[in-house]
Amino acid sequence: MGLFSRGSKSDVPLSGDEWSPNGHAEKRRERDDRTEIERPPAPPAEPERGPETQASEDPPAAPEPAAADPPEEAEAEPQPAEPPEEAKPEPQPVEAESKPPVNQPEPEEDDERRMSAKQALAPVRRPGVGKPPGAHIGDESERRARIISFANQKGGVAKTTTTLNLAVAFAESGHDVLAIDLDPQGNLTMSQGIDPDKVERSMYDVLVDHIPIRDVIEGREIDVAVASIDLAGAEIAMSMQIGRERSLEKALSAVVDDYDFVCIDTPPSLGLLTVNALTASDKVIVPVQCEYLSMRGLVQLQNTLEMIRENLNPRVQIEGILPTMLDSRTIHAKEAVEILEENFGELVFKSRIRKAIKFAEAPVRGSSVLKYDPQGNAAQYYRELAEEVLTNGAS
**Other C-beta atoms lying within 10 Å of the C-beta of residue 218:** 14
Q: In which residue ranges of the chain is pLDDT below 70? A: 1-136, 138, 141, 393-395
Contact indicator for 324, 158 with CB cutoff of 8 Å? yes
- Can you give the pLDDT at residue 282? 95
Contact indicator for 288, 155 with CB cutoff of 8 Å? no
The CATH number of the structural domain formed by 144-391 is: 3.40.50.300
- Can you give the pLDDT at residue 241? 86
Burial (CB < 10 A; 0-12, 13-18, 19+), residue 39, is exposed
Distance (Å, rounded) from C-alpha 160 to C-alpha 287?
10
178 strand-pairing partners? 223, 262
Question: Could you tell me the pTM of the whole model?
Answer: 0.66
- Can you give the pLDDT at residue 154? 86
pLDDT single digits (tens) 191-230? 999 999 999 999 999 999 999 999 999 999 999 999 999 9
- Can you give the pLDDT at residue 357? 95
Distance (Å, rounded) from C-alpha 384 to C-alpha 140?
24
- Can you give the pLDDT at residue 220? 95
Buried b (16+ CB within 10 A) or exposed e, 242-280: eebbbbbbbbbbbbbbbbbbbbbbbbbebebbbbbbbbb
Closest among 196, 260, 247 to 225, alpha carbons compared: 196
- Can you give the pLDDT at residue 181? 97
- Can you give the pLDDT at residue 92? 52
- Can you give the pLDDT at residue 332? 87
Distance (Å, rounded) from C-alpha 305 to C-alpha 242?
21
Closest among 263, 241, 280 to 386, alpha carbons compared: 263
Domain range summary for the chain, segments of one domain joined by +: 1-40+61-73, 144-391
- Can you give the pLDDT at residue 23? 47
